Amino acid sequence: MPLTGFYRDRLEQTMERGVHGLSSALTYENHLSGREHWEITELADRGEHADSSKLLLKLVMSRGPQACRVMWNSFVKMRNAVPKLDRLLKEIQELGSVPFVHGYTMVDFKLRDVQQKHKETLRAQTETLRVNTLLKMEVQVLQLVDLYAELTIISSVQVRRLVEHELLARGRDHEEYREKCLQRELEKIRIDQLFYSCFFWNRSRIGSLAAVAGAPGIGKTTMVQKFVHDWATGKTYQHFQFVFSFRLRDLNSIKSRVTLKELILEQYPYFGNILSKVGKNPAQLLFIFDGLD
């Protein structure tokens, strides 16, 4: 089965704590050499689990369908012990033999100019980050791409509450508990994977809704800025024709009832009378409301 970058990254993460068993099975079936098995397990024994998993998957994908079959059979045996692996396999099975490939939408010629204008506007708005420095008591303006640190997004509110409860109950043992959860259940979701994950994306609906929650100051607003910047610069989520981002802190100052159309035109006036045409493809629009708390 061909792997997109999306599924490859997630498999590498899921395999991190199972490389010993997987590598042993592949070596027994003569798909890996003894030397390769040693290199893989040596990395894992040194605590370099991500590198070990990456090397194993790279070797398997280069060995052809027989090696891949042994790997998938091993996954099936492991799935009950690793919940996030079970979820991932169900998602792949549901999609069939061709995993989801990040797509691009064709834009109507009349919308192309306004889309380009919109991307240029959003890029200019999001390319820098204002940082308050404690030592000099001043604001520094830095490039977002130089400063951004990716968040670990947890799969559900229920799991987040469980982690928070353990933090209170177990104190210094929390970090060990959190690491075990990440190994077995929690999946690290990159920002470009957010709407493709089985945790957030409901394929039975035309539209979908994702809510990202976390403690104040953890970086949710910065994540939104990075998300919008990546769309505006053509890096991710190009299957959305348009992205509209609003801060609820600004919207709270509005005292009268307004329509969504009025909100868009107030913030992005260059849409003008073409906005009705934009709205004809709602599944290709993304609306972001930042700061719900």
Whether residues 239 and 122 share a domain: the answer is: yes
Mean pLDDT value across residues 253-257: 86
Task: Quote the pLDDT of residue 83.
Answer: 75
In a domain? residue 143: no
Together in a domain, 121 and 244: yes
Residues 31 and 91 in one domain: yes
Looking at the structure, tell me whether residues 9 and 126 fall in a common domain.
no
Q: Name which of 188, 279, 285, 204 is nearest 237 in CA terms.
A: 285
Question: Is 148 domain-assigned?
Answer: no
Instruction: Please report the pLDDT score of residue 240 as a whole number.
Output: 86
Q: CB–CB of 55/37 below 8 Å? A: no
pLDDT at 203 over 60: no
By C-alpha distance, which of 62, 47, 38 is closest to 16? 47
Answer with the one of 38, 68, 95 that is the final residue of a domain.
Answer: 95
% of the chain with per-residue pLDDT over 90 = 13
Q: Where are the alpha helices (DSSP H) in 79-219?
A: 83-95, 109-126, 144-147, 157-170, 174-184
- Please report the pLDDT score of residue 36 as a whole number: 92
Same structural domain for residues 115 and 206? yes
pLDDT of residue 220: 84
Radius of gyration of the chain (CA): 22
**254 by DSSP, 3-state: which?**
coil
Q: Number of folded domains in the chain? A: 2
**Do 114 and 16 fall within a single domain?**
no
Q: Does 116 share its domain with 83?
A: no
Which residue spans within the chain are E strands per DSSP? 128-133, 138-143, 242-247, 285-290
Q: Kindly report, residue by residue over 23-35, the tens digit of the pLDDT.
A: 998 998 899 999 9
Q: What is the pLDDT of residue 212?
A: 80
Q: 222, 191 in Cβ contact below 8 A?
A: no
> What mean pLDDT do residues 145-156 have?
67
Q: Which of 48-57, 105-114, 126-135 is least confident?
A: 105-114
* 257 assigned to some structural domain: yes
Rank 168-182, 211-225, 274-288 by mean pLDDT and report only the highest: 274-288
In a domain, 235, yes or no: yes
Q: Which of 34-48, 172-186, 267-281 has the lowest mean pLDDT?
A: 172-186
| Mean pLDDT for the stretch of residues 196-214 | 58
Question: How far is it, in rounded angstroms, from Cα 4 to Cα 58?
Answer: 13
Is pLDDT larger for residue 157 or for residue 153? 153
What are 3-13's pLDDT values in tens digits? 555 567 777 77
Query: What pLDDT score does 253 carry?
Result: 85
CATH of the domain at 21: 1.10.533
Residue 145 lies in a domain: no
pLDDT, position 289: 92
Residue 22 lies in a domain: yes
Verify that 88 and 119 share a domain, yes or no: no
Pick the more confident residue, 167 or 79.
Answer: 79
The reported pLDDT for the residue numbered 205 is 46
CB atoms within 10 A of CB 29: 14
Task: Tell me if 269 is assigned to some domain.
Answer: yes
What's the mean pLDDT in 131-142?
A: 66
Question: Minimal CA–CA distance to 247: which of 259, 262, 263?
Answer: 263
Rounded CA gap, 198 and 200, in Å?
Answer: 6
> What is the token pair recorded at 75?
């996954």
Q: Above pLDDT 70, what percent of the chain?
A: 68
50 in a domain, yes or no? yes
Q: State residue 244's pLDDT score.
A: 94
**Is residue 206 located within the same domain as residue 91?**
no
Same domain flag for 50 and 119: no
Do 39 and 113 reside in the same domain of the chain? Answer: no
199 pLDDT above the threshold of 70: no
Q: Give the range of the structural domain holding residue 237, as residue numbers without chain letter.
A: 109-130+202-290
Amino acid letter, 264: I
**What's the pLDDT at 103?**
45
**Judgement on whether residues 120 and 221 belong to the same structural domain of the protein:** yes
Mean pLDDT of the chain: 76
Q: How confident is the model at residue 98 (pLDDT cuts 50, 70, 90)?
A: very low
Is the pLDDT at 77 greater than 80? The verdict is yes
Position 69 scores a pLDDT of 84
